Amino acid sequence: MEVTIDITAYHKGWFEFRLAVPADGGADEASPITQDMLNEHVLEIDESTVDFDLVTNYAGVHGSVKCATTGGHSDPTSTTRNTKWPHGSCCNGGGACSPPAANKDRYVIETSSNVGEPGAPTGLYTVVLKVPPGIECERCTLQWYYQTGNSNDAYPEAFWNCADVEIKPESYTGDSWCAETVYCGATPECSGGPAAGCGPTEELSCSVEREACGAFQAKCDAWCGASCTATPTCDAEAPEYPGGMLKHECSCWASTTCAALGESSCPGWPFETMCGYCDHDVIGENCCRGLSIHAAIQEQGLDPDTDLLLGSTRATWEDLCEVVVAWNGRFSAIPFLAEADAGNNLLTLAAFLGNAAQESADFVACEEYINPCQGVCSGGNAEDYRDALWGTCYQVPVPTADSFDKTGSLPADACGTSGQVTCVDWDGRPHSGDSCWYGKGALQLTWNCNYAKANTLLREIGLEIDICADPDSICTDGQTFWAGSLAYWMMSVSPYYLQDHRIDTAMNCIKSGCSAPYPGTWTGSGAAASCNIESPAGACWEDSEQYFWADMVGALEKMATRGVAGRTFISGAAGSSEYAVGLANLAAFLAQTMQETIQYDACDENNWSEQSALDMVSAKGGSPGEIYPASAACGQLGQSYQSYSCPAGGVLDPETGETVPPEEVQCAVDLEMVVVAQTSAQWYGAPPPLFCAPRSLVRDAPKWDVSGWCPTQGTSWNQAEEWAAPFGSMARGSIHFGPAASTASVPPEVLASAPDYPSYVVGSVDQGTGEDCLLSGTCCLDKDNQRAGSWQSCAGGCENSALPELNVGSEARTDVEGCCWWGRGAIQTTGVCNFGKLNYFAGKKAAQRGKDALFPDVDFCANPGAICQPEYPELRWFSGLFYWLNDVQPYDVRGERYLDVLQAWVDNGMDPSDHSLVDFASGVVNRGCHDAPFEGVGGADPCGNGEIHAWEERRLNFKHIWGVLSPLLPTRRRSLLLS
């Protein structure tokens, strides 16, 4: 049996071939083909195969990619550290394979003469296989398996394909016949017998082709419209598609322009009024001429169709031009390929087409290849994209005048049609219901959610298709092929790609999604770093999931009425002037919370030790440390949170007027404490939650690498084999440690070796990312919907930034022992003294002292993470207000009092351009010093605590909040809380 394999991407390794022979010879097509049946016949390579001696030299394959035991035979030349191999291969239960030293059934492609051909070792590999004697069947199944060899000491990437074959007895001489290409209106001529020059049997008979072409005539007529002449052609010879795909093309022609015929003419072309004519070529040519990118390509001497689209007949450059012109005409505020920098436009086009070429097999396939073997062969399964595997659909586009906002959410069946739709995959197999949301179009639009969101935008640009009701309509023509994918690009890729113009950013967004996780807030979910409170809502703002107004009001009422240790929040109990003071005090408080936490939708401090933060430490003569080290939990920007101790002179108890020794107030550092943060940053590849643990558990702190790729949607082919229910069928992004110390979303098989998050971190160091390590429980499980990133080691542990000369500084840390005192809550309560004050005056210790504690059951020293736990929704606000009562309102240093500045700001006219109040509060909150220098401005540092971070943003926050609150200023006396 001669088989030919077309390799388009060379990854070394070898081929294996297996043959399943049904007991009835294949007469019952409904009878399933199993891997066990395939394993019964591992086919040997015939000696007539070109380069036989070379391609059977399995012993010469590098030991780092060969399994230790193959086909039951030990292989002493194997040196790999990998212990898991694809099921159904010679390395794992794939039948009676030959011994590695006397290989007969593995075709080693790296030793084929193809490798020596100019250019690359891709192309056609022809292999002659031995069919075991005595086999005769109407429908046997041949399986091709490709085990790659380009990943040393790792689970290999593997590929499968299957084909039904008929095997005749050895005495069979055979006959052949040819089917000519059939054109509508022509009389096909088919020859049923042997003919000179005839090739192998065509996949489609003439009758099938005539029937299909006749049905297409009606579609073509409807598409072109009554005023244009429709000329459909149907072609059975489409070698770029395995299995003889039907290729239907429709062209329209009119004797005059559409303008002369009226806008209702040629209804199949949605862009005729924009680009001028019914004739497709004229439309496309005119649209392309209107794009600056077209001229830039021509200046390079390139033919877009040939050099960029590789001669595709699926969709043309003119098709793309039409879609781009339509998009830019409708959404002029967010155009495609229209940046001022022509070089950036070329980069964007390269990123878009490069990813489209990969997703659509070089612009050939519109539909994803759906596996016909139901798990035995490779390829996707339509069931991998069921609604149940998605969850809520967020970031729904709402068109505006010249753009669209991403807001709100939809259920898993975002289209609302999963129960009614039907579809046919590229190989002609029907599907129905929520199995129709597999990839289609240039970028393979996938999942019900993305279909629903793109559907809204396609209608806006004039495409009269409904991909919710008819998902196959994406593949109607060249325009729809591009349009659905352009809509997805502009929704879910472009906002992130345009920040750096890196093709890997676009690739990661397409592979695993860069859209913001369900509603975070403002810049924390992936918006541009330039976003601030004055930025457009559609570009930068989303609803918070951590901070709610009702929780704030509840905490504020407690602090303004009951208070803590005799102190209350100044809210202006009576008098219009005092009421204004209360509003100004609240505005100053909220301006700080917006900068410290709300903009990031974070309760726990994020690991923000990025390069710019390290550079600031270096500029001050400190040790910068590593980017995103786990030891950031001990302190960031040169600080040491354990050094935030109470003053040596003691802490004033405002209720009694007595000074309490610091050791009675501040929390003791428990070196055995294990805490994992509840929240963390959510941008693509962002570091996971901070955590602390003893050295006995985590000896050396690793650092976070933001690159890589973690699968989040759908399931892995062998997931059910690795993990018991329900984890075997869960979407991969839903399997993770956390939040906090929770392991409820972790398979028991993973917990057996990593019972908690710190243990998992130790086991995941230097394991990279990807499907294989995820299934082994050693990567991509750090948080919900993790899309990228992994832990890496440093010799001796990864250092955090160190600036010992700070009053709250220390030497660099390479561990996380006792480092449990990072910032939490609205104003990031930080350090052993501040958590101790909470406990002493409002928590468990206050209750033990016989005080009327607001939170008598919360031990803030034993459980500092309580501030962010969902069972205490007011605590994240309360902790910030407590800090305000004890450190901001009573602030009095070197003759400067916060209350004096607050009153003076009100008395001087409450002008938001007067920054005296917000700057004073910013210094106290951010650096514990009212006159600390501004970041980037420099100047004296009287307190030695460093510069005020983001002082300009805090000013804008205050201005915005005051604009919201100032209309509440009374015309008569009233209380802030009762207004």
User: Which H or E run contains 248?
Assistant: strand 247-253
Q: Is 181 helix (H, G, I), strand (E, B) or coil?
A: coil
pLDDT surpasses 50 at 313: yes
Given a cut of 70, is residue 178 above it in pLDDT? Answer: no
Look at the block and give the residue holding tokens 């600056």: 292
Say yes or no to pLDDT of 92 above 70.
yes
Please state the domain extents for the chain: 2-167, 213-257+264-269, 525-601+823-978, 607-821
Show the CA angle centred on residue 232, arms to residues 230 and 235, nearest 5°: 170
| Residue range 561-577: mean pLDDT, rounded | 77
CA distance 671 to 696: 10
pLDDT band, very low/low/confident/very high, at 259 (cuts 50, 70, 90) = very low
For 222, 279, 348, 388, the CA distances from 229, given in Å and listed in that order, are 10, 10, 37, 46
Q: What is the mean pLDDT of residues 668-674?
A: 96
Tokens representing residue 417 in the block: 């049609």
Q: Tell whether the model's pLDDT for residue 941 goes beyond 80.
A: yes
pLDDT at 184 over 90: no
- List, in sequence order, the alpha helices (H) in 620-707: 662-665
Taking the whole predicted model, whether its pTM rises above 0.85 is answered as no
- At residue 893, φ and ψ (nearest 5 deg) are -130, 130
Q: How confident is the model at residue 573 (pLDDT cuts 50, 70, 90)?
A: low
Question: How large is the average pLDDT for residues 417-441?
Answer: 87
pLDDT in tens, 116-167: 544 457 788 899 999 999 899 989 999 999 999 888 778 888 999 999 999 9
Answer yes or no: is pLDDT of 376 > 80: no
Residue 332: pLDDT over 60:
yes
- Bigger pLDDT: 524 or 32? 32
Return phi, psi of residue 159, to 5°. Answer: -135, 145
Please report which residue ranges of 308-462 form alpha helices under DSSP H: 317-330, 342-359, 448-460
Query: Mean pLDDT for the chain?
Result: 82
pLDDT(571) > 50: yes
Q: pLDDT of 700-729, one tens digit each?
A: 999 999 988 898 888 888 899 999 999 999
Of 23-32, 518-527, 627-636, which gets the smallest average pLDDT?
518-527
pLDDT at 938: 83
Question: Given the structure tokens 């082919």, which residue do they identify?
Answer: 717
* Residue 274: per-residue pLDDT: 38
Write the pLDDT tens digit of every residue in 33-76.
999 999 999 999 999 999 999 999 998 898 889 999 988 899 99
CA distance 676 to 630: 11
Q: Give the percent of the chain with pLDDT over 70.
A: 82
At 854 the pLDDT is 93
Q: Is 581 left (phi over 0), alpha (psi -120 to 50) or beta?
A: alpha
Distance CA 129, CA 43 (A): 6
Q: What is the tens place of the pLDDT at every residue in 536-563?
A: 655 567 778 888 888 898 899 999 988 8
pLDDT tier, 624 (very low <50, low <70, confident <90, very high otherwise): very high
State residue 513's pLDDT score. Answer: 62
pLDDT surpasses 60 at 637: yes
Q: What is the pLDDT of residue 537?
A: 58
Phi, psi of 272 (to 5 degrees): -65, -35
Residue 519 has pLDDT above 60, yes or no: no
> Which residue type occupies 563?
G
- Indicate the Cα dihedral angle 301, 305, 308, 312, nearest 10°: -160
Q: What is the mean pLDDT of residues 6-12?
A: 84
Residue 666 is predicted with a pLDDT of 96
Residue 283, H or E segment: helix 280-289
DSSP 840-887: HHHSHHHHHTT---SSTT--TTT-GGGGG-TT-TTHHHHHHHHHIIII
pLDDT of residue 83: 86
Q: Is the pLDDT of residue 919 over 90?
A: yes
Which residues make Cβ contacts (< 8 Å) with residue 294, sequence separation at least 6? 288, 304, 321
CA 903 to centroid of chain Cα atoms? 49
Helix 951-965 with 916-927: angle, nearest 10 deg = 130
Chain-centre distance for alpha carbon 836? 39
Question: 288 φ, ψ to 5°?
Answer: -65, -40
Q: Decide: 835 and 646 in contact? Cβ < 8 Å.
A: no
Residue 963 to residues 449, 541, 852, 969: CA-CA distances in angstroms?
Answer: 38, 18, 37, 11
Cβ atoms < 10 Å from Cβ of 750 = 23
68: exposed, middle or buried (Cβ count in 10 Å: 0-12, 13-18, 19+): middle
Check the CA dihedral 147-151-153-158 and report its sign.
negative
Across the range 347-358, mean pLDDT stands at 93
Q: Report the percent of the chain where pLDDT is more than 90.
A: 49
CATH number (1.10.287, 1.10.1760, 1.10.530, 1.10.3210) of 525-601+823-978 reads 1.10.530
